[in-house]
Amino acid sequence: MIINTGARTDTVQWYTPWLLKRFEEGYVLARNPLFPSSVTRYELTPETVDVVEFCSKGYRPILPRLHEITDRFNTHFQYTITAYGRDIEPRVPGIDESIDTLYELEKIVGAKRICWRYDPVLLTKDYTVERHFETFDRMCARLAGHVDRCIFSFVEMYRKLEFNMPELIPLTEEDMDRLAEGLGRIAHAHGIWIQTCGTKGDWSRYGIHPSGCMTLEMLGGANGLEFRRLKHRGTRQGCHCIESRDIGAYDSCACGCRYCYANKSPEKALLNYRENHDPASPLLLGHLREGDRVVQGSQKTFLTEECAARQGQTPLL
């Protein structure tokens, strides 16, 4: 199985002590966001986890102790670095600091395990198409050779954004085509593989590869693993990722990004981070409550039989 540490929240940037303790103790609990009294237990051992997938906007807090995980587990890293400043991403490191941190991460895990995420791509009166191209070109110049690929997506216009980002300019088909052409052209000029994430659009004419930011091909190539041929079900329409199990919680990311889909409000997330998190708890937020039902999660390996044997996998079915 694939353990995902960062789809619901930026666990690495805000909850590093908790994350390291969970791997040290060898298990984690995750509350079902739709059925709060249902809690799933996952074993965090090399024998039951194929790959640990990280996704963060700030890896610096975990770098001194990252080896505690990378020495034992197969890993893969998604690093989000966008064109936006604190007006849109209030508590996210700046571009130069983030790139410097990525260099340090590369020294530990290697470029093949790092995907640079430039998403979501959105437009305002300040963040224009031209500004995206200028910033993206500058970032590509510094990141070429230090990442496996660049992944981008266009912002999804869901209802919360009407309140959280009223200045957002809805993207037209023409806008997306122009942006795709420019991003593809710039990435190609710097020798960076570029692909989409969670989109139905086809921009292969601009050298942009189709969606799938967490595929078995990527994870296997990064770690020298052989996976069975399995259907990639994804998490939403247009997504072509392999299924994974997220150990985080919604409404807990303190980055405060105004386009965030995982927080109902930045204020609620910041409150949860400050008042509802115990680094010693097996749950990211809070503790087990009376009436909670804890079940063992399925942890069947995706590896081929031969590769699983080499890895010492003993999956929980």
User: Is residue 66 helix, strand or coil?
Assistant: coil
Q: How many domains in the chain?
A: 1
Q: Does some domain include residue 316?
A: no
Question: Torsion angle of alpha carbons 224, 227, 230, 236, nearest 10°?
Answer: -40
For residues 253 and 9, the answer to whether their CB atoms sit within 8 Å is yes
Q: Does some domain include residue 88?
A: yes
For residue 199, the enclosing domain spans 2-311
Q: Does some domain include residue 39?
A: yes
* Nearest C-alpha neighbor of 278 from the set 7, 63, 21: 21
Q: Does some domain include residue 58?
A: yes
pLDDT at 102: 98
Task: Give Dmax (Cα) for the chain.
Answer: 58
Tokens of 86: 């604190």
Q: Does some domain include residue 317?
A: no
Q: Does some domain include residue 24?
A: yes
Tokens of 38: 């249902």
List pLDDT tens digits, range 42-76: 999 999 999 999 999 999 999 999 999 999 999 99
Tokens of 54: 């990280």
Q: Is the dihedral of CA 279, 280, 282, 286 positive or negative?
A: negative
List pLDDT tens digits, range 209-242: 987 888 899 999 999 999 998 877 656 556 677 8
pLDDT at 180: 97
For residues 298 and 42, the answer to whether their CB atoms sit within 8 Å is no
Query: DSSP character for 31?
Result: E
Q: Does some domain include residue 189?
A: yes
Residues 6+ apart with CB under 8 A from 303: 50, 225, 226, 227, 228, 311, 313
Q: Does some domain include residue 101?
A: yes
pLDDT at 317: 46
Q: CA-to-CA distance for 51 and 78, rounded, in angstroms? A: 13
* Cβ-based neighbour number of residue 290 at 10 Å: 5
Tokens of 253: 């990311």
Low-confidence residues of the chain: pLDDT under 70: 233-239, 313-317
pLDDT at 235: 60
